[in-house]
Structure 1
Amino acid sequence: MTRILGCLMALLMLQVYVFGKSPQDSLLKELNRSIENAPVYDALKIKGIDSIRRTLATTGADPGARYHIYQLLYEQYKVFNFDSAFVYARLMEKLADEMQDPLRLTYARTRIGFILLSSGMFTETSAFLNSLDVTGMPDSIRSQYYLMKSRFYYDLADYNQDRYYSPSYIHQGSLYMDSALHLMSPASFEYQYNKGLQYYKMGNLAAARGNYPNLNQPGLNYRQLAVAACTLGYIYLHAHQSDTAIELMYRSAIADIKSSTKETMAMYTLATLLFEKGDIKNASHFIEKAIAEAVFYGARQRKVQVSSILPIIEQERINTAEERTRSLLIYASIVTLLLVAVVILAVTVTRQVRKLKVAQEIITAAHLKQQEINNQLLEANKIKEEYVGYCFNIYASYISKIEKLKHALEQKLTDNKPNEVKYLVNNINIRQEREDLFTNFDKVFLKIFPHFVEEFNALFEPANRVALREDELLNTDLRIFALIRIGITDNEKIARILEYSVNTIYAYKTKIKKRSLVPNEEFENRIMAIKAL
């Protein structure tokens, strides 16, 4: 009997463990593993490309065989690297023109249009597509042309986000989509995907979900799974089902990595959704991956879109449209100043051609200065990210405590127990709250500057170094200069944070500087030189 009960308890615990894990947890682990293995997938991709490229030497004077290899190389590069894909599409066009083969020439030009559209070059894409004539071409070329025209108008609508023009663009894109769907088999993946996309763009979310291919059906390759899961994720997102959207973005991002696809929006969208849910750590990790992929691919539209999430944390502090306008004016001023500086530098370099050595030294110095500024900006962004998350956690904790206290006070007042109300108020341990605040600050600070204590002590003789107790992360001496390291240099602000008088803070700083091995006027500069992790 005891053995039977033991087995039942074990089964119950197993069920609790299995059902306690959400699908998102499993997908998160799988995505992190895929990111770790991304160099392996990319190496296999490059190995395959090199294998195809080596066959060019065996084609001899056969233009048809060379065209086919250019086409294979284009297909390998089209979602992997924009510049290489564009080069091989142009080579296909040039060779088809030399062969005087209108079929191959039109196909090559549709590929050029696709890669221009992927790069976000709307003006060039529009002019290029309008110059194509697919009359009399096979259904495969015509369907690709109509799909490209449809995507052009859909992307233009997404880019503009204009209440007047966007509906017109969506309508025009849907007309071209109808033409493309007419040339496809209704049972094909391409038909189901693009029909669902058309419904989605027209706002019919129920029809879009119902028409989408089953993502678990056999035969789907990673690329098909990635595009279908990503678009289906957007559909669920617009239907306000964010959890399902996040799971689909996970699946899409995993498939993109395994297929070495760099022209993608799944990782960026996933990072955005996680940030909105408060998962700052994973959002930051994934947006870094998305930016790296966008830079590797080289498409300007993707780089602009992916980089747009970077100022989101600061965007939380912007409360009015006037503040946003002011920020834009500041950015425009900075760009103008930079342009003026570039013009001045260009004029200076032109005048100093005969003094090349001096000019090179100036450029080198400017480069080092810019690199130093970039490093400082990266460090500042890291500090802001950590402390924004820290502040949110602290505020949430205090709000929870206040809410519990409020409920307790209301209950005691309702029960007419004023003595117990007084007990509740007197039971608030302000000293402990302050100590908890300092402890949390110390943890976050040491996470950013893990070697701060060692480098701080290196400025003193061994006998004068700070010796921390086992239960201490930082003491008052270290905490004063920790605040200075993150940019709080005003004695009055430091005193207010640490609950000391301004004179006490000044006395602490003076005493510490006098014990150091460096001159007093250089001490704080040495503190600011301590690097973040």
Structure 2
Amino acid sequence: MRRKISAIIFCLISVIHTYANTPKTDSLWLLLKAELKKGTSYIQRKEQKIRLIKQQLEKIPDDNFNPRFQLLSHLFDEYSSFRFDSAITSVHRMIAISKRFNEKQHLIKSQMAYATVLMKSGFYKEAFDAVAEVDTNQLSTRTEHDYLVLRALLYAEISAYNNDAYFAKRYHEASEEDFKRAAQIINVDELERTINLAFLPTGDKKKPTAEFYYNYLLSRKLSEHQIAIIATRISYAYDNYDKLLLLTLAAINDIRSATKETFAIFLLGQELFQHNRNNDAYICMQEALGNAAFFGTRNRAAQIESVLPLIASRLIEEKQHEKDMLWIGIVIFLFVAVVLVFQLVLFRKQMIRIKMNDRIIQEKNTELEDVNGKLWESSRIKEELIGLFFKTCSSYIETLDKVIRKAQHNIKLGKYQDATRVLGNVHIQTEKNQLFSTLDRVFLTLFPNFVASFNSLLKQEDQIWLKEGEMMTATLRIFALIRLGVTDIETIAKILDYTVNTVYTYKARIKGKALVSPDVFEQKIMEIKFTDDR
């Protein structure tokens, strides 16, 4: 159980450590891309420095060994990681002048420099031949240490280049043996001791973090080229984002120092490829390939050309995947767009249908309101006329009852003249006038604007206006009955005690004087407003 808990805690710490380093790695990568854009300016600065050394060298006489060899050595240092052919020319001049003045130690230094530049360019056989020419009997302690380190690096390089299970193992063992012998010759300084701590076993408390080395190298007074070399060397002791941090730092300083040997940025490209950062890996490999062509590094160019197609193919796969996803996205978008358009069309049709239904409902409501108004109007008219009818009938029945009783009473008493006189007191015309007066009053109460509305349909000279207290004329009564819904001429004639011809004549005369067509005159009469006292 404890082992499981410890394993979980260790995984959490590793994840936290990894993600804690990620932002610094990302910011360094952005800095690296910015430095790549400024590569030309760093090359120009390097070339300017080389021109100054050459100008100083031209001023030194051929027989003045020390200053001339020193300048040739500086010139070689500038070319050693910049241009292979120029570096070879410089080191040959160093070898020639050393032999000319019989300077053994300077000759050994020149031969070792020659072997170093051959090793960087992949001329491994020539580099071994150059190492074999070194007179090991003339080596000082420091020179012997450098010689063993050079030979160890050469064995390591050819081991990595061969990549064969049998021969690579032999070269690797020889490299380890030379490194051990070199470590026993001299006491290493504080910088070397700190670097060696990186190669302690993982989990050792004394082993510093990659970020420690990042800050450590930047805090020391080291050249850009030295920082790149040491950071590349330490990167072998770490993996994942720690390795990316150190290799990115090395690549940045290689660019700033115009180093074209390309080792750091090549390793960075490989590591990025392992992390599936294919686009970034492709950028590094392209830069490394350009640097290899610039410097003339055959072995590195071969390594890059073997890896670059893998990165390119993966990039093509990613681009194809992105293209496929884009097409899928476009298809989905078009499908959604079509569905939305279809929905919008349906929605628009529904809205149009709803608006049409609303309009129909409004029209129906208006029609219902008109019908209700007319029904209410008709109901009111009927109520008034029925009331008038019963009131008038009741009055006439009461009057007839009185007349009958008086007549019967006088007849019983034999007063026949008195009975005749009682019957003679009933004036039919007066009663008719009284009925018409009541009818006029009720109608004008229901239609107070009838006379004005009726006259608006006639010319001014033909208009009929009533004086105060005056009853309606026969013409007005005819059209008043029509407005009340009595349209049958015979019925109108009986109500008004006229002949059918008389009623017809009145109607025809008025229609002939009307401002509107005779066909629509009665319709206009029906449109005269009823008093709304609801």
TM-score range, shorter chain: 0.5 to 0.7
- 1:50 alignment counterpart: 51
Confirm whether residue 36 of structure 1 aligns to residue 37 of structure 2: yes
- 1:281 alignment counterpart: 279
C-alpha separation in 1, matches of 2:298 and 2:184: 32
Letter in structure 2 aligned against 1:210: K
- 2:299 alignment counterpart: 301
Distance 1:191 1:430, change over 3 A: closer
Letter in structure 2 aligned against 1:111: A
Confirm whether residue 391 of structure 1 aligns to residue 320 of structure 2: yes
Q: Per-residue deviation at 1:188?
A: 4.1
Instruction: Give SS of 2:307's match.
Output: coil
C-alpha separation in 1, matches of 2:94 and 2:202: 39
Does the CA contact (< 8 Å) of 1:196 and 1:207 recur in 2? no
Distance 1:207 1:181, change over 3 A: farther
For residue 265 of structure 2, the aligned residue among 260, 264, 267 is 267
Confirm whether residue 143 of structure 1 aligns to residue 145 of structure 2: yes
Does the CA contact (< 8 Å) of 1:249 and 1:270 recur in 2? yes
1:461-487 superposed Cα distances (whole Å, 9 cap, x missing partner) = xxxxxxxxxxxxxxxxxxxxxxxxxxx
Q: Per-residue deviation at 1:21?
A: 7.9
Q: How does 1:97-176 map to 2 (within 5 A)?
A: 97-176=99-178
Moved more, 147-156 or 165-174: 165-174
Distance 1:174 1:267, change over 3 A: same
Distance 1:98 1:26, change over 3 A: same
Does the CA contact (< 8 Å) of 1:223 and 1:256 recur in 2? yes
C-alpha separation in 2, matches of 1:115 and 1:208: 38
Instruction: Give SS of 1:216's match.
Output: helix
Q: TM-score, normalising length from structure 1?
A: 0.53
Q: How does 1:453-472 map to 2 (within 5 A)?
A: none
Moved more, 216-225 or 285-294: 216-225
Distance 1:143 1:118, change over 3 A: same
Moved more, 184-193 or 67-76: 184-193
Letter in structure 2 aligned against 1:100: N
Distance 1:21 1:216, change over 3 A: closer
- 1:216 alignment counterpart: 215
Distance 1:313 1:20, change over 3 A: closer
C-alpha separation in 2, matches of 1:169 and 1:257: 31
Structure 2: which 5+ residue stretches go unaligned?
A: 1-18, 337-534
Does the CA contact (< 8 Å) of 2:124 and 2:158 recur in 1? yes
Does the CA contact (< 8 Å) of 2:282 and 2:311 recur in 1? no
C-alpha separation in 2, matches of 1:123 and 1:19: 45
1:422-475 superposed Cα distances (whole Å, 9 cap, x missing partner) = xxxxxxx99527779xxxxxxxxxxxxxxxxxxxxxxxxxxxxxxxxxxxxxxx
C-alpha separation in 2, matches of 1:175 and 1:306: 29
Letter in structure 1 aligned against 2:213: N
Confirm whether residue 22 of structure 1 aligns to residue 38 of structure 2: no
Instruction: Give SS of 2:149's match.
Output: helix
Q: CA RMSD of the aligned region, Å?
A: 3.3
C-alpha separation in 1, matches of 2:303 and 2:264: 12
Distance 1:21 1:267, change over 3 A: closer
Percentage of matched positions with identical amino acids: 21
Distance 1:309 1:259, change over 3 A: same
Instruction: Give SS of 1:129's match.
Output: helix
Letter in structure 2 aligned against 1:223: H
Distance 1:20 1:189, change over 3 A: closer
Moved more, 275-284 or 205-214: 205-214
1:398-430 superposed Cα distances (whole Å, 9 cap, x missing partner) = 9xx9xxxxxxxxxxxxxxxxxxxxxxxxxxx99
C-alpha separation in 2, matches of 1:144 and 1:174: 15
Letter in structure 2 aligned against 1:289: E
Does the CA contact (< 8 Å) of 1:134 and 1:141 recur in 2? no
Distance 1:71 1:132, change over 3 A: same
- 1:291 alignment counterpart: 289
Distance 1:110 1:248, change over 3 A: same
Q: Per-residue deviation at 1:277?
A: 3.2
Q: Per-residue deviation at 1:283?
A: 2.4
Does the CA contact (< 8 Å) of 2:155 and 2:171 recur in 1? yes
Does the CA contact (< 8 Å) of 1:230 and 1:266 recur in 2? yes
Q: Per-residue deviation at 1:191?
A: 5.8
Distance 1:206 1:128, change over 3 A: farther
1:327-355 superposed Cα distances (whole Å, 9 cap, x missing partner) = xxxxxxxxxxxxxxxxxxxxxxxxxxxxx
- 2:97 alignment counterpart: 95
Q: Per-residue deviation at 1:209?
A: 9.0
C-alpha separation in 2, matches of 1:196 and 1:155: 23
Letter in structure 1 aligned against 2:288: A
Does the CA contact (< 8 Å) of 1:157 and 1:166 recur in 2? yes
Q: Per-residue deviation at 1:396?
A: 7.6
Letter in structure 2 aligned against 1:36: K
1:144-202 superposed Cα distances (whole Å, 9 cap, x missing partner) = 21111000111111112222222322221122112222344322434654x569x59xx
Letter in structure 2 aligned against 1:37: K
C-alpha separation in 2, matches of 1:152 and 1:205: 27
Q: Per-residue deviation at 1:214?
A: 3.2
C-alpha separation in 2, matches of 1:57 and 1:208: 55
Distance 1:37 1:97, change over 3 A: same
Instruction: Give SS of 2:46's match.
Output: helix
C-alpha separation in 2, matches of 1:435 and 1:70: 73
- 1:355 alignment counterpart: none
C-alpha separation in 1, matches of 2:161 and 2:21: 41
C-alpha separation in 1, matches of 2:102 and 2:51: 29
Q: Per-residue deviation at 1:111?
A: 0.9
Distance 1:30 1:116, change over 3 A: same
Confirm whether residue 432 of structure 1 aligns to residue 332 of structure 2: yes
C-alpha separation in 2, matches of 1:221 and 1:268: 21
- 1:243 alignment counterpart: 241
Letter in structure 1 aligned against 2:207: G
Letter in structure 2 aligned against 1:103: Q
Q: TM-score, normalising length from structure 2?
A: 0.53
Distance 1:248 1:272, change over 3 A: same
C-alpha separation in 2, matches of 1:40 and 1:234: 30
C-alpha separation in 1, matches of 2:20 and 2:138: 58
Instruction: Give SS of 2:187's match.
Output: coil
C-alpha separation in 1, matches of 2:149 and 2:272: 32
Q: How does 1:395-414 map to 2 (within 5 A)?
A: none
Does the CA contact (< 8 Å) of 2:278 and 2:311 recur in 1? no
Q: Per-residue deviation at 1:275?
A: 3.2
Distance 1:72 1:24, change over 3 A: same
1:212-257 superposed Cα distances (whole Å, 9 cap, x missing partner) = 99342222322222122223333323xxxx2222222211110111
Max Rg structure: 2
Does the CA contact (< 8 Å) of 1:86 and 1:115 recur in 2? yes
Q: Per-residue deviation at 1:84?
A: 0.9
